[in-house]
Amino acid sequence: MNPLHSTFIEHQLSGRYICNTHIEPLLSAYNTTVIGHSETGLPIYRICVGAGKTKVLMWSQMHGNESTTTKSVFDLLRFLQSDKSLIEPLQLSIIPILNPDGAKSYNRFNANQVDLNRDAIDLSQVESRILRKEFDEFSPDYAFNLHDQRTIFGVEAKPATLSLLAPALDKERSFNDCRNKAAQLAASVFQGLQSSSIASQIGRFDDQFNPNCVGDAFQSLGVPTLLIEAGHYQDDYHREKTRTFVFDAYVLALQAIGTSNFSDFSIYHSIPQNKKIFFDYLFRNVHYVDRGKEKTGDVGLQYKEVLNSNQIEFHPVFTAAGDLSKAYGHIEPNCENLEPFVFKIEESAQNLLKSLNL
């Protein structure tokens, strides 16, 4: 863990399940306002920090089950309280949990089962309108769109612990001054992390244009927008290690903005594209029974994240079988002498892991 981050970690937040009840005890330490209520009436908070001239809007957990960037927000807030130099030129408006209903039920969607990151044009949901109102009234110079990505993403043969994107602003995925600025911001984060242990675990997210995605919408409205996706780090399913790299990413991005000292735009294009190439477990060359037929091949398992008594449980399920030679497993068990087992998509793989003492 980086020594800077470990000093400022907000120990009251940990694990994957983070909702309003977790952050509410922390809010009185900050300049917090309720800027509206969710579809079921839960408060949506905004924290303001700094009085500098460059304005940055950050929002986290628009997807309710994507909490890592929220933990890092509170680590950042603690850091900003003790180190005034970073915040001096800046003014931040931070919405730590935009989708409190989804956060409560550990769900990507809001209470009406709408993906808020596909609602930028329609603004059909109250949470989308609250974010848009904050965007219009605060009138940021930069925007940070904060998410988690699944463990399936990798960079080459390694997990993608962070993914960055300067979202597209049109179908042609063209670059104008605004998108170039966002790319430079991503480049500053990427370059700053080259001395860390995730130097080769940072990917560039797919930039297909979708005007209903909030990042794409804000970018096309002329505000440089950076997407940060927190991802998997080796053995870190609770994303406590990943949160430290997200914290670093925030500090690096805010430093670049505050000092107007950005990395070169060409570095952005050198960031390798992330790909969906990982399983949580990959069993290579095993015997399995699929729809009554015995086969030999590879079998992939993914964890399903299940909320149970305010804790996230990780339930392994079978997701793919066949030739998975181009994929990787975060864990690739030794399967010599493994008896043939039944493969059934979505079926629990708990017994298989048990038989291997995993």
Distance, in Å, from the CA atom of 250 to the CA atom of 230, rounded to the nearest integer, reads 12
> Interacting stretch for Zn ion, rule CB under 5 A, among 89-97, 147-155, 176-184, 238-246?
147-155
- In whole angstroms, how close is the CB of 288 to Zn ion at the nearest point? 33
> Interacting stretch for Zn ion, rule CB under 5 A, among 141-149, 176-184, 266-274, 280-288?
141-149
Distances (CA, A) of 100 to 65, 269, 288: 10, 35, 42
> CB nearest Zn ion: which residue?
147
- In whole angstroms, how close is the CB of 337 to Zn ion at the nearest point? 41
For Zn ion, which is the closer residue by CB, 152 or 256?
A: 152
Site size toward Zn ion, by CB under 5 A: 3
Site for Zn ion contains 63 (CB under 5 A): yes
Distances (CA, A) of 342 to 225, 291, 338: 47, 8, 12
> Interacting stretch for Zn ion, rule CB under 5 A, among 36-44, 60-68, 212-220, 296-304?
60-68
For Zn ion, which is the closer residue by CB, 131 or 256?
A: 131
Q: How many helices (H) and strands (E) does the chain have?
A: 11, 16
Contact 162, 249 (CB under 8 A): yes
> Interacting stretch for Zn ion, rule CB under 5 A, among 131-139, 142-150, 193-201, 210-218?
142-150
Tokens 């505000």 -> residue: 223
Site string for Zn ion, 194-213 (x = CB under 5 A): --------------------
Distance, in Å, from the CA atom of 259 to the CA atom of 193, rounded to the nearest integer, reads 18
- In whole angstroms, how close is the CB of 60 to Zn ion at the nearest point? 10
- In whole angstroms, how close is the CB of 275 to Zn ion at the nearest point? 18
For Zn ion, which is the closer residue by CB, 63 or 179?
A: 63
Distance, in Å, from the CA atom of 57 to the CA atom of 141, rounded to the nearest integer, reads 8
Site for Zn ion contains 181 (CB under 5 A): no
> Interacting stretch for Zn ion, rule CB under 5 A, among 66-74, 186-194, 329-337, 345-353?
66-74
> Interacting stretch for Zn ion, rule CB under 5 A, among 19-27, 83-91, 144-152, 321-329?
144-152
Going 212 to 213 to 218 to 220, the CA torsion angle's sign is negative
**196 by DSSP, 3-state: which?**
coil
Q: Return the closest-CA partner of residue 62 out of 15, 136, 117.
A: 117
Site for Zn ion contains 147 (CB under 5 A): yes
- In whole angstroms, how close is the CB of 76 to Zn ion at the nearest point? 19
Site for Zn ion contains 16 (CB under 5 A): no
For Zn ion, which is the closer residue by CB, 22 or 63?
A: 63
Q: What is the DSSP letter of 340?
A: P
- In whole angstroms, how close is the CB of 147 to Zn ion at the nearest point? 3
- In whole angstroms, how close is the CB of 229 to Zn ion at the nearest point? 7
Residue count of the chain, please give it: 358
Contact 178, 222 (CB under 8 A): yes
For Zn ion, which is the closer residue by CB, 75 or 148?
A: 148
Gyration radius from the chain CA atoms: 21
Sequence-distant (≥ 6) Cβ neighbours of residue 249 within 8 angstroms:
72, 162, 164, 189, 193, 228
Site for Zn ion contains 55 (CB under 5 A): no
**134 by DSSP, 3-state: which?**
helix
Give the other-Cβ count within 10 Å of 52's Cβ: 16
Note the residues at the interface with Zn ion (CB under 5 A): 63, 66, 147
